[in-house]
């Protein structure tokens, strides 16, 4: 792990940084780098994000104008629209000596974007959502980040990536070196099999089993959904050891003896298959094909989720719990 004291070069000073997109990550990174003393502009299409960036005091331009003016172009639009944004509004204005930056390797690794020779291509991937990156920066800390280089035209691409991460506050928490390939494949695997796909499937299945057995939907929600945060917080703070220490012996024993019956050899085989489909590009092709077809599958899955009993019961209960906040004070 590298920290602030380990990042001592100064190649980023004097560069104009253009953040393309002003959503969760764009907002956080633009504000963090500006607060760290760098020259930051924002490139975004007219609308809510454009107005918000203006309100926050940035010079805001169209994407093409920002790309023309910048030495560093940080692409922070959604993965699916990034190739078209790059091709139409960024690529025509890249010059030798520029830096093209990413916070996820998806489009580079799967060749949706093929950068020209003569530019550095780097990545700084915070290991947390944008709102957390901004909040922790303001509080004087940060979230850890990965950094990587894909193309080193200047001979200083790695230094630039580390300096950019430091400016974002990430070196306060720690930097780890990776590659575009490794970050992309691990990130997709984690999202699909554990952090989002795995957890949501586990919660939903547990909820359905309890309700089908005649238990109250409200109690089922509290048991398998609401308490998930409490358990995850303990793991976040001190690993499995702290979680088990803060829970009962009964729950710990049941975890060791029953948990592996749920996430078992069949689950492992499914995870391995999912990983293969990430590695060979099957998932990326499927995802981009659905996007180019109007996201028909994605929107159908989303609609099904929104009308589920779990979602509806949860919304009713959360509305009665004022301590559960559905916003972040640094999100604007």
Q: Class of the 188-319 domain? A: mainly alpha
Tell me how far the alpha carbon of residue 46 is from its chain's centroid: 24
- Model confidence pTM above 0.85: yes
For 83-212, list the strands marked E by DSSP.
99-102, 120-126, 145-151, 175-177
Predicted confidence at residue 322, as pLDDT, reads 83
> From the candidates 27, 104, 156, 226, which is the catalytic residue?
104
Binding residues: 22-25, 45, 49, 130, 187, 191, 223, 227, 248
SS3 for 225? Answer: helix
Tell me which H or E stretch contains 303: helix 296-306
- Residue 52 Cα distances to 26, 41, 49, 68, 132, angstroms: 12, 13, 5, 22, 19
Binding residues for substrate: 248
SS3 for 215? Answer: coil
Predicted confidence at residue 331, as pLDDT, reads 40
Query: Cα-atom radius of gyration of the chain, to the nearest Å?
Result: 22
Question: Catalytic residue at 156?
Answer: no
Predicted confidence at residue 223, as pLDDT, reads 96
Binding residues for Mg(2+): 187, 191, 223, 227
Asked whether 63 and 38 are in contact (CB, 8 A), the reply is no
Predicted confidence at residue 261, as pLDDT, reads 96
* CA–CA distance, 91 with 114 (Å, rounded to integer): 10
For the chain, list the strands marked E by DSSP.
16-20, 39-43, 59-61, 72-75, 99-102, 120-126, 145-151, 175-177
Write out the two tokens for 220: 């089922």
Predicted confidence at residue 329, as pLDDT, reads 45
Question: pLDDT tens string for the chain (332 positions)?
Answer: 999 999 999 999 999 999 999 999 999 999 999 999 999 999 999 999 999 999 999 999 999 999 999 999 999 999 999 999 999 999 999 999 999 999 999 999 999 999 999 999 999 999 989 999 999 999 999 999 999 999 999 999 999 999 999 999 999 999 999 999 999 999 999 999 999 999 999 999 999 999 999 999 999 999 999 999 999 999 999 999 999 999 999 999 999 999 999 999 999 999 999 999 999 999 999 999 999 999 999 999 999 999 999 999 999 999 998 888 775 544 43
CATH architecture of structural domain 4-178: 3-Layer(aba) Sandwich (3.40)
Delimit the domains of the chain by residue range: 4-178, 188-319
Predicted confidence at residue 330, as pLDDT, reads 41
* CA–CA distance, 257 with 235 (Å, rounded to integer): 19
Predicted confidence at residue 327, as pLDDT, reads 59
- From 119, 113, 19, select the one nearest 63 (Cα to Cα): 19
């Amino acid at each position: 792990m590298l920290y602030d004291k380990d990042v001592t070069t100064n190649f980023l000073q004097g560069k104009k940084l253009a953040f393309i997109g002003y959503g969760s990550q764009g907002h956080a990174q633009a504000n963090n780098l500006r607060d760290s003393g760098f020259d930051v502009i924002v490139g975004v299409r007219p609308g809510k994000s454009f107005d918000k960036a203006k309100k926050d005091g940035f010079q805001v331009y169209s994407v093409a104008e920002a790309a023309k003016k910048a030495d560093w172009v940080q692409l922070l639009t959604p993965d699916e629209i990034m190739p078209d944004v790059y091709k139409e509004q960024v690529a025509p204005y890249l010059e030798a000596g520029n830096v093209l930056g990413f916070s996820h390797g998806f489009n580079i690794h799967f060749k949706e974007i093929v950068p020209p020779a003569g530019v550095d291509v780097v990545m700084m991937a915070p290991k947390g959502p944008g709102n957390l990156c901004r909040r922790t920066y303001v509080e004087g800390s940060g979230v850890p980040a990965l950094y990587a280089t894909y193309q080193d035209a200047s001979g200083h691409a790695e230094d630039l990536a580390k300096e950019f991460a430091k400016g974002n506050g990430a070196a306060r928490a720690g930097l780890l070196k990776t590659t575009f390939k490794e970050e992309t494949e691990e990130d997709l695997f984690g999202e699909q099999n554990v952090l989002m796909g795995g957890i949501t499937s586990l919660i939903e299945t547990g909820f359905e089993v309890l309700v089908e057995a005649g238990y109250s939907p409200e109690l089922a929600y509290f048991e398998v959904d609401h308490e998930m945060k409490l358990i995850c917080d303990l793991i976040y703070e001190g690993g499995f050891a702290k979680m088990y220490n803060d829970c009962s012996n009964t729950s710990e024993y049941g975890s060791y003896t029953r948990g592996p019956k749920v996430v078992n050899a069949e689950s492992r085989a499914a995870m391995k298959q999912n990983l293969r489909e990430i590695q060979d590009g099957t998932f990326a092709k499927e995802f981009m094909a659905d996007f180019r077809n109007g996201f028909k599958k994605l929107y159908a899955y989303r609609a099904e989720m929104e009308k589920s009993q779990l979602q509806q019961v949860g919304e009713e209960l959360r509305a009665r719990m004022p301590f559960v906040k559905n916003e972040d004070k640094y999100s604007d």
